[in-house]
Amino acid sequence: MTFALALDIFIFVVCVGVMFVVMRAYFKSEATAWYGRVWDTARDSATLLWSYAVIIGTGIVSLLAGIADVVDPGTAEQIKAYLPANLVAAFVIGIMLITIASRLRSLGSRQ
């Protein structure tokens, strides 16, 4: 129970943090079109864009899994019998954070 709660808190904090970084960069962009702003947000890196999208998508899926657990506990229990949803979400977010860190490091060395 405590481990699951810690994972849920981790997922929430990371997703909110990434959404804050993305939204701040989006609104600071000087591009006129929305796709230009998105590309500026990712610092002209498809890897960062994909990582941001996966983290935010994983957070949304984790939230929906939590809602499904409240609405219909039987469905969530069948899924959790094979693989806990919060463990998968934490694993995916961890991989994406490593991807973002390595890409930011390589972007910084090019300047």
24-72 per-position pLDDT tens digit:
999 999 999 999 999 888 888 888 888 888 888 888 877 877 777 677 7
Rounded Cα gap, residues 1 and 46, in angstroms? 37
Overall domain count for the chain: 1
Residue 47 lies in a domain: yes
Q: What is the pTM of this model?
A: 0.69
Whether 67 is in a domain gets the answer yes
82 pLDDT more than 60: yes
Would 29 be classed as within a structural domain? yes
Residue 82, classed as helix, strand or coil, is coil
Average pLDDT over residues 70-77: 70
Give residue 30's pLDDT. 92
Residues 99-110 pLDDT 10s = 888 888 777 765
In a domain, 111, yes or no: no
Cα dist from 90 to 11, 24, 61, 94, whole Å: 6, 24, 12, 6
For residue 45, give its domain range.
2-106
Residue 45 lies in a domain: yes
